[in-house]
Amino acid sequence: QAQLQQSGPGLVKPSQTLSLTCAISGDSVSSNSAAWNWIRQSPSRGLEWLGRTYYRSKWHNDYAESVKSRITINSDTSKNQFSLQLNSVTPEDTAVYYCVRVDSGCLRDWGQGTLVTVSS
């Protein structure tokens, strides 16, 4: 079982960039069996998968169509962590953001969640 620790600001201004980091313990971001995901939850949109990064001989990234033009997920092997950047945020991006470890399609290990509010 992996432990995921999220960090990043809880308040972001409209049009700016939301940045969160997820530090991993108990597994490796370069694992050949896990994928490292970002998911958000809001009352209006429910649980929404945003994207993932994973290593299978090389790095792969997949993003949800709804945010594809604005999102970047990166991995940092030296720090064993991965990050989320979401550009040009609006109040609709206000949500609780989770980093999640996925293996065999199951979301087994979750970060503690970060409430990000987009407001001036």
Partner 1 sequence: DIQMTQSPSSLSASIGDRVTITCRASQSVSSYLNWYQQKPGKAPKLLIYAASSLESGVPSRFSGSGSGTDFTLAISSLQPEDFATYFCQQSYSTVTFGGGTKVEIK
Q: Residue numbers of the site for partner 1 (CB under 8 A)?
A: 37, 39, 46-49, 52, 62, 64-65, 98, 102, 104-108, 110-113
> In angstroms, what is the minimal distance from the CB of 36 to partner 1?
13
Closer residue to partner 1 (CB): 58 or 65: 65
Closer residue to partner 1 (CB): 19 or 103: 103
Name the nearest CA neighbour of 116 among 100, 87, 93, 99.
93
H-helix or E-strand spanning residue 70: none
> In angstroms, what is the minimal distance from the CB of 114 to partner 1?
11
- Count Cα atoms within 13 angstroms, Cβ side, for 70: 15
Alpha carbon distance 39, 41 (integer Å): 7
